[in-house]
Structure 1
Amino acid sequence: MDALVNIQPLLLAQLKPGDYVGFTFFIGSMAMAAATVFFFFQFSQVDKKWKDSLLVSGLITFIAAVHYYYMRDFWASSGQSPTEFRYIDWILTVPLMCVEFYLVTKKAGAKIGLLWRLIIASLAMLLFGFLGESTGIYNTPETATMSWVMGLLSGLAYFYILYLVMFGEVKELAAKAGPQVAKAVNILAWFVLVGWAIYPIGYIAGTTGGLFGAQILEGLPMDIVYNIGDAVNKIGFGLVIYSLAVAKTD
């Protein structure tokens, strides 16, 4: 009996029946893990020049799978949103998603400067977002103002990335790389526009007073939105890269 008591803290936290938020954490961790296995197994099936892109896709889902494993247990044991875990995940995976734009356009002449601009913009978007969410939880007029300022700076970084991939240098390079690359980059750009949009929406929903005093998405747990969005964005990103690599290999 004493031995059982001693190992109890080591046991995984159990999800409770009817815990739909916890259910999406579990689905997210399993989906990311399955995608990782798929991308790594397909690594040897694509041409050498596309291996780095597929490797990065696998790393993105692997990092997310590990974080979702811990986020699921954090939620099950505390019932609180794992904000810090999310930002640790995003600060590793989102820059890697931006790296994909560089890798697929590198053969068309993308310079290292483009890679660093994408990485720096993604880090700025996340760091300002984390600072805004960290101050916003105290629910005072002063912290609400700071939360909005940080959110604005984070949004500017996001729109800079969106401009590069939809209208700027990334789009121009993709057009030079050929129709298959241009099509893939266009799909990835829509992931940034539509898929990534859930994050600023969630940020606004969590800001004191909501959007101009209106609480958007009221009653809908943002963790469910984040979990589903993360799985679609990260796995979808990888599948687009995989499809491009296979097409180019054939």
Structure 2
Amino acid sequence: MIPESLTQGQFDTVYNFLSLVIASQLFTALFLLICLPRILPRYRQAITVAIVVCGIAAYHYLRIFDSFKDAFVTDAVGGDGIYTQAAGASFNEGYRYVDWLLTVPLLLVELIAVLALARALQSKLLWRLVPAAVLMIALGYPGEISDDNMVRGIFFGLSMIPFLYILYVLFVQLTASLDLQPAGVRRSLSNLRWLLLGSWAVYPIAYLLPMLNVSGADAWVGMQIGYSVADITAKAVYALIIYRVARIKSFAEDPAFAEREMSHGAFARETV
């Protein structure tokens, strides 16, 4: 539940973390856009999707940021007081779900695209992962906006079904495809799956907090921090690892391309 008031420290903490996410997503997208020519064309689709994901996240966090500033106001001069909910305004958590509905399926598209698998296998994996991701987010939203813990629990259980199915595909069915990748790529992609699992685990924990009677301003601020860190990890950091995988595979598949890139100096070597 959104608290009725925040202290100056609580307000500043949420304000700063939302700003951090916006900067992280925007400049990750900018970096990837600049570096797009530094990988082979067959891997640019994955990086283009990563740019779109970071762009979508930056846009929605701007909306979340504006919603937060409008929702909490103070009469204190000099910005040192209690922030209370503004009359006629509220913090809109729905922006997060719109963001996740778009970006979570695209995160899985990034992963499959950078593998550059045979078209039939790629289509097979995407038809399993993308609908499951959409269903997971769609089933979570009714519980998120409900004040009834029973309703919240039902939709939590329903959304966990596609979540567990996604994990099954990533950790069981995708393993055989990873065996076909270069050793450095296998390690990076294996770590990438654990990164997704770790960052995604924040969301169900935050979802369960009201059902565990964990509430109040501190709990809400902690939830906003958790969401922010998870979104940076699952989108910006994830995208940079995808870019590294694309670089490794580009170098391994085209020695002439690798030689041209390495001639650019130390920076090129460090990004491989």
Structure 1 and Structure 2 fold alike (TM over 0.5): yes
Write out aligned runs for 1:1-250 (5 A).
19-79=12-72, 80-107=90-117, 110-135=121-146, 138=147, 143-166=148-171, 168-206=172-210, 209-210=211-212, 215=214, 219-220=218-219, 221=221, 222-250=223-251
| Residue 81 of structure 1: how far off its partner (Å) | 4.2
The superposition leaves residues 22-54 of structure 1 with CA deviations (integer Å, 9 ceiling, x where unpaired) of 111111111110101001111111111110111
Contiguous gaps of at least 5 residues in structure 1? 1-15
- Which residue number corresponds to residue 5 of structure 1? none
The superposition leaves residues 97-135 of structure 1 with CA deviations (integer Å, 9 ceiling, x where unpaired) of 011222133425623121021011111110111111122
Query: 2:115 & 2:23 partners in 1: Cα distance?
Result: 31
Counterparts in 2 of 1:95 and 1:53: CA distance versus 1, 3 Å: same
Query: 1:183 & 1:108 partners in 2: Cα distance?
Result: 21
Secondary structure of 1:229's partner?
helix
Contact 1:36/1:58 (8 A) holds in 2: yes
Query: 1:95 & 1:82 partners in 2: Cα distance?
Result: 22
Query: 2:118 & 2:188 partners in 1: Cα distance?
Result: 14
| Residue 181 of structure 1: how far off its partner (Å) | 3.2
Secondary structure of 2:179's partner?
helix
State TM-score, norm by structure 1.
Answer: 0.83
Aligned-residue identity in percent: 26
Secondary structure of 1:25's partner?
helix
Number of residue pairs aligned between Structure 1 and Structure 2: 223
Secondary structure of 1:215's partner?
coil
Q: What letter corresponds to residue 47 of structure 1 in structure 2?
A: L
Secondary structure of 2:144's partner?
helix
Query: 1:88 & 1:36 partners in 2: Cα distance?
Result: 19
Query: 2:250 & 2:184 partners in 1: Cα distance?
Result: 12
Query: 1:188 & 1:153 partners in 2: Cα distance?
Result: 26
Query: 2:118 & 2:241 partners in 1: Cα distance?
Result: 18
Query: 1:22 & 1:215 partners in 2: Cα distance?
Result: 22
| Residue 60 of structure 1: how far off its partner (Å) | 0.7
Q: What letter corresponds to residue 244 of structure 1 in structure 2?
A: V
Query: 1:117 & 1:188 partners in 2: Cα distance?
Result: 19
Counterparts in 2 of 1:41 and 1:131: CA distance versus 1, 3 Å: same
Secondary structure of 1:102's partner?
helix
- RMSD in angstroms over aligned alpha carbons? 2.0
Kindly name which structure, 1 or 2, has the bigger radius of gyration based on alpha carbons.
Answer: 2
